[in-house]
Amino acid sequence: SAVVLCAALIKEKKLYTKIEICHALVKTGKPAIDKLISLLGKIGHNQYRKVPSKPFLKDSYPLPRDLAARTLIRMGPEAIPPLVSVLIGDDVTAISEAIDAIGHLCDNHRCEDYFGEVAHCTNRFSSNELILWKSVRALSVFAEAKPLLQKLATEVNHPAIKNEIERSISIIHKRKQ
């Protein structure tokens, strides 16, 4: 069951065993989604804790560093609505990882329907540098995000976030061509 697999994922230390548990959770499908959402930001220490100074230079969407988020991504678009529900909560760590997963899923599956939710999260957490940085990345998926990104470009002073805003605008521009 998803509960047993998630409990094992929390305790397991060996990488390849964790990978196999994640494979099993993906095969479990929808029943595992809520359990994995409850683990966002809680397994391991690989997640971003602050905005990195080194820019991400690729045009591809970055893979989240959080194990639960990566597993949810492999489940496909059916994970998006439960992930979106995380954005209205108060668990900042979970929100930070959920926005990564939503952006990645929307990019890979061309889901344009979630711009409003990502934009709301961007505005709601405009004073949280990490979530703002991740939200700006997620906005790169949505053509309609360009005006919001342009507005943020005039308001944000953080160099790495400004760089990510420019990158997102550039990605949107390239997709229109």
Listed as ranges, residues in the chain with pLDDT below 70 are: 177
- The whole-model pTM stands at 0.93
Give the model confidence (pLDDT) of 78-99 as tens digits: 999 999 999 999 999 999 999 9
- At 6-27, the pLDDT tens digits run 999 999 999 999 999 999 999 9
Nearest to 66 by CA among 53, 89, 83: 83
